Structure 1
Amino acid sequence: MIVKQITSMTEVDADSWNRLVQGKDPFVSHEFLAALEESGSVCAETGWRPRHLLVYREQELIAAMPLYLKDHSWGEYVFDQQWADAYYQSGMDYYPKWVNAVPFTPCQGQRLLLAPALDKHSVIERCIDYIKRLSEHKKISSLHCLFPDPVQAQDLEKIMLLREGVQFHWFNRGYHDFADYLQSFSARQRKKISKERRKIAEQGIDLIRLRGAEIGERQWRHFFRFYQATYLKRGQYPYLNQEFFMRLAQSMPDQLLLVLAVKGNKIVAAALSLIGEDTLYGRYWGSHNEYDGLHFETCYYQGLEYCLEHGVKRFDSGAQGEHKISRGFEPVTTYSAHWLQNSRFSDLIAEFLRREKPLIRQYKYNCRGRLPFKARSDN
């Protein structure tokens, strides 16, 4: 095996890379990662310097690792700023650091793309060892693998520190339609959701779902303005620019789902999701004005209906959001894996994670107790 490092997705053949992608995961596809770079959303100026790893056997690409050198912790959704502060207080530099992740995307998936029938453990160890040696040579503090899928998290736990988190996902339990899904709720929660959805029609708002090729330039312009407004309302600039979305529209239209909220002849809100093999990923949303219940309808209920109509098994609607629990989104464990070059800090963080883990698991247990599904005796 030969390991090499590249500074741009243009340096690797798209078909060779995509052959390593499982489950049509849109975020680790060559098209998605290239769009981030070619649009300038990911670059040295934004603090994400691409340093992807490629593993070859003779001339064949057998593994790959999306990897970035970072000077900050923005856009990661796994918070390590306290770790950085502790480094600085000890007179040490936490940045730069390696981040193995999809920028701005807290969705679980492959973080090491592996060809079938590989000895995955030896390949993973080879990649991590390569990064460790490079870190010692270039004085890079650490490696952070963010949101690996549960199987890869178990593999990484053998050689890195594992951290747990919680998100809220929806699972298709074989429901026929949305009405059938609501029958699984307690009577009180069922009435609440039905009332919430009626409010949309009462405000004169219609919802339209469009797949990639159906989305025109006008709809894309509206969507981006809404997405941009979501950040500007908080006094922030959006991570992604309009060119990024235009590149997605050109390179992977079949994996895009746009929901538009229309009042009269005016588009008033929009939400963009990406489509995997068996998962819908809710990602970007925005509106200029506030409408009662519109966020839930556009971002959640329309996505659920799409999943039910197309037999999609899971809806991953993004990070955080306890408001999702009452709508049937179940708490799931997420993971991140960490290696720190400084052994003393590695031991301190290992102890921190040991104490944090039962708190995270208790939180997940408490959230599960708040799900709206009816007990068997509830008629």
Structure 2
Amino acid sequence: MSAEISVETHSAIADIAARDWDRMAGDNPFTSHRFLHALEASGSVGDKTGWQPLHLTATLDGTLVGVAPLYAKTNSQGEYIFDHGWAEAYARAGGRYYPKLQCAVPFTPATGPRLLSPEASIRVALLQGMAQIAERAELSGVHVTFCTEDEADLAAEAGYLRRTSQQFHWLNDNYGDFGDFLAALSSRKRKDLRKERERAQGFGGTIRQLTGDQIEPRHWDAFWRFYQDTGSRKWGRPYLTRAFFDRIHDTMRDDILLVLAEREGRPVAGALNFIGPDALYGRYWGCTEDHPFLHFELCYHQAIDFAISHGLSRVEAGAQGEHKLARGYVPVETHSLHRMSDPAFHRAVEDYLQREREAVGEDIEILSGHTPFRRGD
């Protein structure tokens, strides 16, 4: 790292001026100062959550030239790039895996920039600075998750290992409406999705897409009930606090698409999405009533409708879920970077990742052959 570049950690995003952070972060909703601040101010991250902020700034001759969302992690919850096996192996070898450094957006498996600087040399300096912090504090290593492909290309130069994972994204092929998208599918799949939407939309109520000032506090009351139900069933305790939703209502409602299903004037299901400059990011879903296919309608089909009508290039519907394939979401690679402080453990992880990359590539190839799109015409 250049001796002229100074790298410093900060225990709260509020310690960094929002205008300075966002000048580096650009327009991705999840790396914005307001999103990260909402997580901290609401108590969703911080003491006793497993996410302790240590945000990184890089300055050159007194001028801010780069930032990165960084946390000391005392567990591997809420990351979606799974390393529990690494933690167990390191512990069996007599090592202490936690705490570790995590450059990420908490609870958000969405690809986006993590090394926030327009200069590649500064992005490398941020990676090197994280590694130095981990070594000086005797931490097990550094993990940069859901980074961009350009950032992943810096791995070798900065001494990191590159990991490839897989998600399902819907890609907009300049469709004019949902019908154009259906026309790109095979006849059988097209009929299946039409029937699915008819069943879902016939649940006995109405479906509404709300953004900006259309979203009212009462809608968050309903969505909190949905979120609590889903969270308690999936991971035991919801990660986000009720105050988080109040915060994003105040500061980010123009970046939010809330899809609600209402019956007799009462919300019974909902899906929360964040709107990026070129993508829609599906994040949370929940319900208080079960209706056939309503989950698919609110989370996937309504998201496609919105993306088409607003000229967005893709929908990222979160982690996992091969059921997305039948609904036009295709397998794509996601990327992360890893650097272990112990050289022997670093080599062991490197061997594992090489084999894992091959397996992921094979999975993507196989899944790509089972998309619902027409072949050869």
CA distance in 2, matches of 1:279, 1:347: 36
Q: Does structure 1 conserve the Cα–Cα contact (< 8 Å) formed by 2:152 and 2:162?
A: yes
Q: Deviations over 1:324-371 (max 9, x none)?
A: 111111111001110001111111111111111111100001110110
Query: In 2, Cα distance between the equivalents of 1:174 and 1:222?
Result: 35
Question: Is structure 2 residue 28 aligned with structure 1 residue 25?
Answer: yes
- Corresponding residue to 2:14 among 10, 17, 20: 10
Q: Deviations over 1:143-176 (max 9, x none)?
A: 0000101111111243210110000001110111
| Contact 2:201–2:294 (Cα < 8 Å) also in 1 | no
2:335 maps to 335
Query: Is the alpha carbon distance of 1:295 and 1:157 closer, same or farther for their aligned partners in structure 2, counting shifts above 3 Å?
Result: farther
The 8 Å contact of residues 200 and 206 in structure 1, kept in 2 or not, is answered as no
* Amino acid paired to 2:152: A
Q: Distance in 2 between matches of 1:201 and 1:333?
A: 32
Shift of 1:288: 1.6
Letter in 1 for 2:345: F
Amino acid of the structure 2 residue aligned with 1:151: D
Looking at structure 1, the residues matched to 265 and 254 of structure 2 have their Cα atoms a distance apart, in angstroms, of 27
**Following TM superposition, by how much is the alpha carbon of 1:234 offset from its aligned partner in structure 2, in angstroms?**
4.1
Q: Distance in 1 between matches of 2:246 and 2:302?
A: 23
- The amino acid across from 2:70 in the alignment is L
Query: SS at 2:335's partner residue?
Result: strand
SS in 2 for 1:106: coil
Q: Which residue of 2 aligns with 1:51?
A: 54
Matched, 1:285 2:285: yes
Shift of 1:226: 0.4
The residue that corresponds to 1:146 in the other structure is 145
Q: Is 1:68–1:98's contact at 8 Å kept on the other side of the alignment?
A: yes
Q: Distance in 1 between matches of 2:296 and 2:316?
A: 14
**How far apart, in 2, do the equivalents of 1:154 and 1:339 lie?**
14
Cα deviation, residue 133, structure 1: 2.6
Moved more, 156-165 or 124-133: 124-133
Letter in 2 for 1:332: V
Unaligned runs of 5+ in 2: none
Q: Does 1:69 find its partner at 2:68? A: no
User: Given residue 206 of structure 2, which amino acid in structure 1 is its aligned partner?
Assistant: D
More displaced, 348-357 or 132-141?
132-141
Q: CA deviation at 1:235?
A: 6.4
TM superposition shift of 1:28: 0.2
Q: Write the deviation string for residues 271-315 of structure 1: whole angstroms up to 9, x where unpaired.
A: 110011010001111002211000000001111000111111111
Query: Counterpart in 1 of 2:371?
Result: 371
Q: CA RMSD in A?
A: 1.2
Per-residue deviation, 1:212? 2.3
CA distance in 1, matches of 2:78, 2:28: 20
Question: Per the alignment, do residues 126 and 233 of structure 1 end up closer, same or farther by CA in structure 2, a change over 3 Å counting?
Answer: closer
TM-score by length of 2: 0.96
Asked whether the equivalents of residues 52 and 71 of structure 2 are also in contact (C-alpha less than 8 Å), the reply is: yes
- Work out whether residues 206 and 261 of structure 1, in 8 Å CA contact, stay in contact via their aligned partners in 2: yes
Deviates more, 1:69-78 or 1:234-243: 234-243
1:265 counterpart residue number: 265
Amino acid at match of 1:183: A
CA distance in 1: counterparts of 2:235 and 2:280, whole angstroms: 29
C-alpha distance in structure 2 between counterparts of 1:133 and 1:155, whole Å: 17
The one-letter code of the counterpart of 2:375 is A
Note if contact 1:160-1:339 (Cα within 8 Å) is conserved in structure 2: yes
C-alpha distance in 2 between matches for 1:103 and 1:234: 17
TM-score (norm 1): 0.96
Asked if structure 2 preserves the Cα contact closer than 8 Å seen for 1:212 and 1:258, the reply is: no
- Where do 1:342-353 residues align within 5 Å? 342-353=342-353
